[in-house]
Amino acid sequence: MANQLGLPAGLSEYIRESSLREDDVLRELRGTTSELPAGSALQVMPEEGQLLTLLAGLTPARRILEIGTYTGYSTLCLARALAPGGRVVTCDITDRWPRIGAEYWTRAGVDGRIDLRVGDAQATLGALVAVEGPGTFDFVFIDADKQHYPDYYESALTLVGDHGLIVVDNTLFFGRVVDPDAQDPDTVAIRAFNTLVRDDPRVEMSLVPMADGMTLIRRKRRTEG
């Protein structure tokens, strides 16, 4: 779980005390995840999960796509935001970590709203395009392997409807994006992705300095693109 970049610890704690409404189910899932190898680094901040719930609810979303499930904290947050009758399709390369979250999904009463797809994400996304067609999702959250962000983004643009919202996590990548000595593949990929989105005329966008960086992307109507 990345901390809030750029804020003193005291101010970050004040923000958490003043705004976070994390319930017992989410808190316990976060605690369980933090005990896993690299668990604290890989899961979303609770404030970020709360923001995802708010954004998806504003859409309002009946169909949500999540690329990168991990233990399903964000999945649970998104499932709670669904309009009546809605569903979250969440994708992960393995069911090892989502199995942990499944217990908490059931406890929260949202397990029936979650459709877990296990396998290569690009293959899963290709199948969604082929079977369900373009423009069938209202909201997409991308939080998976960074070097494939451009591919996931293009698939998301196809699958999301006009004026649908795409949220991409880790777009400041622990602050490494501004470190000239950081030339590892993931940091280089995030820099390239940020430039790609900034220059894309098909969308409106804003990189928000929330958590580890969240980029909000609104797809223009296809006739505007």
Q: What is the pLDDT of residue 1?
A: 46
> Phi, psi at residue 149, to the nearest 5°?
-55, -45
Residue 65 bridge partners (DSSP): 89, 140
Supply the pTM of this predicted model. Answer: 0.95
- Calculate the alpha carbon distances from 110 to 79, 87, 114, 189 in Å: 6, 9, 7, 34
Q: What is the pLDDT of residue 225?
A: 54
Helices H / strands E in the chain, number of each: 9, 7
Q: Which has the closest alpha carbon to 1: 55, 68, 67, 47?
A: 47
Q: What is the pLDDT of residue 2?
A: 54
185 CB contacts (<8 Å, ≥6 apart)?
146, 147
d(Cα 203, Cα 209) in Å, to the nearest integer? Answer: 19
d(Cα 135, Cα 158) in Å, to the nearest integer? Answer: 6
Q: What is the pLDDT of residue 122?
A: 95
Question: Mean pLDDT in each 10-residue stretch from start to end of the chain (225 residues)?
Answer: 73 91 97 91 92 96 97 98 96 96 98 98 96 96 97 97 96 95 97 98 96 95 73
